[in-house]
Every structure is written in C-alpha cells, then in structure tokens.
Copies of this chain bind each other. A is one copy, B any other.
C-alpha cells in the first residue's frame, strides 16, 4: 500500500495526550477494511479526550442511526424522572397506566417493565408500523396482552416493544412524550448531538446505515440460523407487518426509514454522532454543559442489575439488564462492573462508567457482524480504559 493510501485511510480528529493508542487502533482497523467507517468519542472527567472519525461512510459532521443504543438514552430520561420523583420504580405499572392491569399484569412493577421482565417481547398478530411509530397505539395493544411468562420470573430482550412500553409509561405518567422530555430538558439545553426524533433541519447530516457486508463464513452462519418466525425469537426479531391501512412497510434497516428516526422510536430510532452519544452519558456522572443530571444515588439505583441469566427470547445468550441499561458481562465487558450503557444492532456502543469517570460513544458504518456486541466496540472501549489506567498510574490528573 502506498503512503498516500495509508494517509487517506487514517482517522481524522483529536486524541488527548495519553490516548494515542486509541487512534492507532482505529487506524489499524481502517487500513485493513477499506469500507469500514466509524466515529469514536470519549469524555474523561468531563473532558473530551477522544474524538475520531474515519472511513468513507462517516464524516466529522455525520449523524446516523444507532439502533438499540437508543434504549440507553431513553434510560437516562427514565432516570431523570425517577430522580425527580415523577416515576416510582417500585410502583405497579397500573398506578400510572391503568389499562396495563389487564391479562394478569396488575402487579408488574415499573422496575420489571423496564428491565425486560414483563413477558411482552412481541405482539400477538404481529407488530405493525403504527404500533412502534405511535406508542399510544402499540401501548394499547401491549396493555391488553397476556405475558409469555409470569412477570418477574424470567426476562427476555424486548428488542422493539421495550421502547413502546417505556414511551407509553412515560406518557401515561407525565402526560408528555419521552422524546419531548429528552429534547427539551436534556438535549437542547446541553447541546448534545444525539436525537430521539431527528428534526428536519438535521436531515442533511444523516448518513444512511449501510447493511452488514458479511464475509462468506458469516453469510453461511447467518443462512444456517433456524429461527421459526412463530417462535419467541422469531416473533420478537421479525420486521413489522405492513400497516393495516396499506401504507409502506418499515425499512429493513430501521433508522433509514424517515418515519422511525423522525419519531425517535426509543428502541431503535435514535440518531446522532458518537460524540453526542458519549455526551448524553457524560451528563449522568458529572457536569456537562450544565449541572450533573443525576445524583450518585439515582445512578446506583438505575444501573443496578435487575435481570440476569439466560435470555428467554434469545437463549442460550446470557444477559444483564438494569433499568433499560445493558450491563457489562464476561463476554460483553465494555467497562468496569459499575458501567451502564447499551449497544446496538449496527455495532454501536455507548456507556458511562462511574468508576473511571468515563463516557464513551462509538458508531460504525456499515453495520458490523454479528449485529450487536461488536468485538471492535469492546476493543476500543478497553483501549481507552487502558489509557486511563496508565495515566492514573503515571501522573494522576486529579
């Protein structure tokens, strides 16, 4: 390879002194994969220490879809409501949302609902676009449904419905949309470049998510998966049906559907930059364009593990969930055991780590195999943590 090619493929942006290894790691990856692109950002002790971008599919100014990493940002909104006392995590859901009491769900707590324990990962008859685009529609259907398991006795990843459930709970409890609370109380006042509901004005910045480009081995693995569409995994992860009114189906790459990213559907429709994702988490553990959003006690409460074990929807995977947040495990070890965040189907990852005073954001494009827990996301997060450890040992920044 010529020197010019190497330069052309190198990342652009900034790393603080002591974080050069992170840039090197990203550059090494960009070199070997000519279509690979990524944004990578980190705040340490409230300061931006990594802000990199590279590859043809993302620029400094790009925003793109992060799929399930959206859920973590919704989790920050829930935490804010809990902090203020607007939402009691111990309350039964029907205290806020009376219709939810149907079909044996009267005792389901807010904690259970928001940690994938309610047994509503899919909808009988299938999800439709209007169910996810309007939480009042999807919420009404979910409120009527019998849970697949006794609530609280198991958990399983509610890949799409967790967003509908969180949104409708907030709407019933506060009279406001979760996305609106995020926009007006967190995003806009702190100038965070991550959106739950991408405004028209930002559309020119949107870079479409490019589908996974699997290797032959990966393609064979994907083709060999046997997941009947009527089983729990299939029913949970299938694309929605066409709309009842004959409207267009949801784009197979969810956030590429303007309706999904305009709604900012909290399970799958968030859009932003890696820096914006990291910034959203930075507000939770320190000052960031304003006072600290959450008290340490609230952080402890919402980041405490609520669900653990074999995921009922996606066995034999082991999962660990707090209130909407995903927690690190031995195979998804993105931070210390006090870290909380979420990854996304495209390979994105964002989290806050109170132990290391770190907020991290990463968004690749194209989407990366296998579609979550991108090994590269873990490598980048571990590289940053190594830099922090070295800096601490060598010269404490206080």
Q: CB within 8 Å of B: which residues of A? A: 103-104, 111, 119, 122, 124, 146-150, 153-154, 227-228, 230-233, 235, 300-301, 304-310, 312, 315-316, 318, 320, 328-330, 333, 335-338, 355-356, 382, 385
Q: Are A104 and B301 in contact (CB under 8 A)?
A: yes
Number of this chain's copies in the assembly equals: 3
A231 in complex: contacting residue of B228, B235, B336, CB < 8 Å: B336
Closest to A336 in B: B230
In the complex where A315-B318, A330-B315 touch, is A304 in contact with B230 (Cβ < 8 A)? no
Q: Are A305 and B103 in contact (CB under 8 A)?
A: no
Q: Are A153 and B338 in contact (CB under 8 A)?
A: no
For the complex, give the distance between the alpha carbons of A207 and B112 in Å. Answer: 50
For the complex, give the distance between the alpha carbons of A366 and B111 in Å. Answer: 48
**Which B residues are CB-close (under 8 A) to A338?**
124, 148
Q: Are B300 and A315 in contact (CB under 8 A)?
A: no
For the complex, give the distance between the alpha carbons of A233 and B149 in Å. Answer: 26
Q: Are A356 and B230 in contact (CB under 8 A)?
A: yes
For the complex, give the distance between the alpha carbons of A337 and B307 in Å. Answer: 21
Q: Are A304 and B147 in contact (CB under 8 A)?
A: yes
Closest to A233 in B: B330
Q: How far is the CB of A325 from chain B (nearest CB, A)?
A: 13
Q: Are A337 and B304 in contact (CB under 8 A)?
A: no
**Which B residues are CB-close (under 8 A) to A304?**
104, 119, 146-150
In the complex where A300-B104, A315-B318 touch, is A382 in contact with B308 (Cβ < 8 A)? no
Q: Are A231 and B104 in contact (CB under 8 A)?
A: no
Closest to A355 in B: B230
**Which B residues are CB-close (under 8 A) to A235?**
336-337
Q: How far is the CB of A310 from chain B (nearest CB, A)?
A: 6
**Which B residues are CB-close (under 8 A) to A336?**
228, 230-231, 235
A230 in complex: contacting residue of B122, B308, B385, CB < 8 Å: B385
In the complex where A104-B301, A124-B338 touch, is A228 in contact with B308 (Cβ < 8 A)? no
Q: Are B146 and A231 in contact (CB under 8 A)?
A: no
Interface centre among A312, A328, A330 (most CB of B within 10 A): A330
